[in-house]
């Protein structure tokens, strides 16, 4: 992942048909404290066209959302970030290099104790914004949300030179992007589940809890969505570039006085990003309009006392306005009796040909449930959005 100097990475159908199998994976959320580390992010996946690219996606609030999976027989358990901005599954390996320090602080996969392990041996490498990851590919059984016996190809990380991994509360990453992003053309886990008849359809949804005090971080649902998590109807927006979950955004408005993305622009929805990011010039105008001023290294400070007076920020997607109030987009941190309010927006310039685009991360996804639908031969991929149903006070 790319930066946030204050904080560390992390990291449908409106009505389901009768009999649809929904696989539920609880998400946990951890606040890791204030560290002056530069988080990683740019799950460096090759875009359409083949050349490697690094997409720097920001994180915020030292928030990490992660869930549990198992690999091998019997299953060896790992905490992973479910990341819509990448397409590979990897975990640390028991065979990791001695000087790969993050390996010693996390669960490690041991092929010798798995009766279903199949060696592959192909080398893989993923470049991050502040480091890199490398190892070998292996094959074994995946256990996820009650599904067992899925054969997957995954990465055993042998070398993690980025020290930021030491402090991560997750062991690895499970990518939920499109196959074109997968390093070494590995079949992504979601595709493997569908191919093997273990998942009805390539659809999944994220519900992220809005309660900052709750350990329960939300839920990832494979195979569809749960209307209990959102207020119908879902607004579907077609995916324009099936690599990241990229869609077209028509406009962005700040109150009634500022319009951004005036001619339309690209946006991606990414569960591995905590902030909302956009081109520098537009984000600077947005920060000024909401009364934010620079704090340090790209972060913006907002006076907590003026939150109730701040304008909404609205995103037009699929012809529908998705509004965020100041309670949604201001990050409020309380530690030791001190209250700090920070803007949930950050400038980030993604160069062509991939960019420029906005990134709608967790600041957006906590307010709106997202249903990621890969589609089929007749219908293309799409993303469904609906307001998160409140489950109590707080944000």
| Catalytic residue numbers, as ranges | 83, 270
Question: Per the structure block, which two tokens stand in for 76?
Answer: 């060896």
Q: Which two tokens stand for residue 392?
A: 């109590």
Query: What residues contact 145, with CB distance under 8 A and at least 6 apart?
Result: 23, 24, 25, 220, 222
| CA gap 238, 53 in Å, rounded | 24
Quick one: tokens of 26? Answer: 């609880």
H/E element, 314:
strand 313-317
CA-based diameter of the chain, in Å?
63
- Give the Cα-Cα-Cα angle 158, 165, 102 (nearest 5 degrees): 50
Could you identify the residue written with the tokens 């951890």? 30
Residues 6+ apart with CB under 8 A from 309: none
Measured distance CA(142)–CA(150) in Å, rounded: 5
- Residue 87 and residue 182 in contact, taking contact as beta carbons nearer than 8 Å: yes
CA torsion 172-174-177-182 (nearest 10°) is 70
Q: Are 311 and 254 in contact (CB under 8 A)?
A: yes
C-alpha to C-alpha distance for 167 and 352, rounded to whole angstroms:
33
Report how far residue 206's alpha carbon sits from residue 229's, in angstroms, rounded to the nearest whole number: 9
Nearest to 324 by CA among 279, 385, 246: 385
Residue 107 C-beta-side C-alpha neighbours within 13 Å: 19
């Amino acid at each position: 992942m790319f930066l946030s100097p204050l904080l560390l990475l992390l990291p449908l159908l409106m009505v389901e048909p009768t009999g649809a199998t929904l696989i539920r994976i609880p998400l946990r959320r951890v606040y890791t404290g204030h560290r002056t580390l530069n988080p990683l992010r740019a799950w460096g996946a090759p875009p359409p066209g083949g050349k490697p690219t690094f997409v720097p996606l920001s994180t915020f609030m030292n928030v990490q959302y992660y869930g549990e999976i198992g690999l091998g027989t019997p299953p060896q358990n790992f905490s992973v970030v479910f990341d819509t901005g990448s397409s590979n599954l990897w975990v640390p390996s028991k065979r990791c290099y001695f000087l790969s320090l993050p390996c010693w602080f996390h669960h490690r996969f041991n092929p010798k104790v798995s009766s279903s392990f199949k060696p592959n041996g192909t080398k893989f490498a993923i470049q991050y914004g502040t480091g890199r990851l490398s190892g070998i590919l292996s094959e074994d059984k995946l256990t996820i949300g009650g599904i067992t016996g899925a054969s997957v190809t995954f990465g055993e990380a042998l070398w993690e030179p980025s020290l930021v991994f030491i402090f991560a509360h997750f062991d690895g990453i499970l990518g939920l992007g499109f196959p074109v992003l997968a390093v070494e053309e590995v079949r992504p886990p979601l595709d493997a589940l569908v191919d093997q008849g273990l998942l009805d359809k390539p659809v999944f949804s994220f519900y992220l809890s809005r309660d900052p005090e709750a350990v329960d971080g939300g839920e990832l649902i494979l195979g569809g969505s749960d209307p209990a998590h959102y207020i119908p109807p879902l607004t579907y927006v077609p995916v324009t570039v099936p690599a990241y979950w990229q869609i077209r955004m028509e406009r962005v408005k700040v109150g009634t006085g500022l319009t951004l993305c005036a001619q339309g622009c690209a946006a991606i929805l990414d569960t591995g990003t905590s902030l909302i990011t956009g081109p520098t010039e537009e984000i600077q105008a947005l920060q000024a309009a909401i009364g934010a001023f620079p704090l340090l290294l790209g972060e913006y400070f907002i006076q907590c006392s003026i939150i109730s007076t701040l304008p909404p920020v609205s995103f037009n997607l699929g012809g529908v306005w998705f509004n965020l109030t100041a309670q949604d987009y201001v990050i409020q941190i309380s530690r030791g009796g001190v209250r700090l309010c920070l803007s949930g927006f950050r400038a980030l310039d993604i160069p062509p040909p991939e960019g420029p685009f906005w990134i709608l991360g967790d600041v957006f996804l906590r307010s709106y449930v997202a249903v990621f639908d890969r589609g089929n031969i007749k219908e293309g991929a799409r993303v469904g959005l609906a307001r998160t149903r409140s489950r109590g006070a707080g944000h």
